Amino acid sequence: MNNVMGVVLAGGLATRMGGGDKSLLPLAGRPILSHVLQRLAPQVDSVVLNANGSADRFASFDLPVIADQLPGHLGPLAGVHAAMIEAKSQGVAWIASVAGDSPFFADDFVNRCDQVASDVGAPVVLASSYDPDHDRWMRHPTFGLWSVDLCDALGDALSQGVRKIVVWTDSVGGMTVKFPTPEGALDPFFNVNTPEDLQVAINGLHNDTTRVRNLRLEK
């Protein structure tokens, strides 16, 4: 797919990590955000970060940092909306959103979402993965491909109090694409919410020998 802006949703409050930016926590000697960007950048034409507060804390990444356009810390939907506004101003037709605390998402995430969007004409496609504990496929609302044509409708929904992503995406004809978990690997959309999760991520990364080798080569 051409003409896609990637947006890393890095504006969470990280209350379960004691505050601060989860995406800046170290993982294998680099911030989690560095791993996220390594996966996202090859899949899109440009990348922006969505975060509120001072943009200086992300200065080392040399990327545009866009804040929510609506006040009140309204959650990830507000970040998606801000990215749509930015993309629209640049004539970009689609945005691909990812979470700033999920370092293992699929390398073909954008491509597979695009296939579904193209096949059925969906204006938004969310990722899902299988949850063995609940024996069902679970959607990951922060991982999606979104048509910028939804910008005004999303702004109206946020102004009317809508906060849950799947509630809104279902209302506009959103679809889902399934991403199987490779054998012996973490869920590709595993995210770091707690100190225990960070240790799981460290263990998961070191179990992926190919990726560990690549990280060493990049240092």
Coil/strand/helix, residue 184? coil
CA angle 188, 192, 198 (to 5 degrees): 105
pLDDT at 201: 82
Domain hosting 17: range is: 4-218
Counted domains in the chain: 1
How far apart are the C-alpha atoms of 52 and 49, rounded to whole Å? 10
The mean pLDDT of 190-206, rounded to a whole number, is 78
Coil/strand/helix, residue 218? helix
- Nearest in space to 86 (alpha carbons), one of 50, 52, 37: 50
pTM of the model: 0.87
For β-strands 175-178 and 65-66, DSSP reports them as unpaired
Q: Which residue has the higher pLDDT, 14 or 64?
A: 64
pLDDT at 12: 54
Residues 6+ apart with CB under 8 A from 210: none
For β-strands 46-50 and 30-31, DSSP reports them as unpaired
- Domain at 198, CATH number: 3.90.550.10
**Residues constituting the chain:** 219
pLDDT at 195: 78
Are the CB atoms for 7 and 79 separated by under 8 Å? yes
How far apart are the C-alpha atoms of 147 and 4, rounded to whole Å? 9
Q: Is the pLDDT of residue 126 over 60?
A: yes
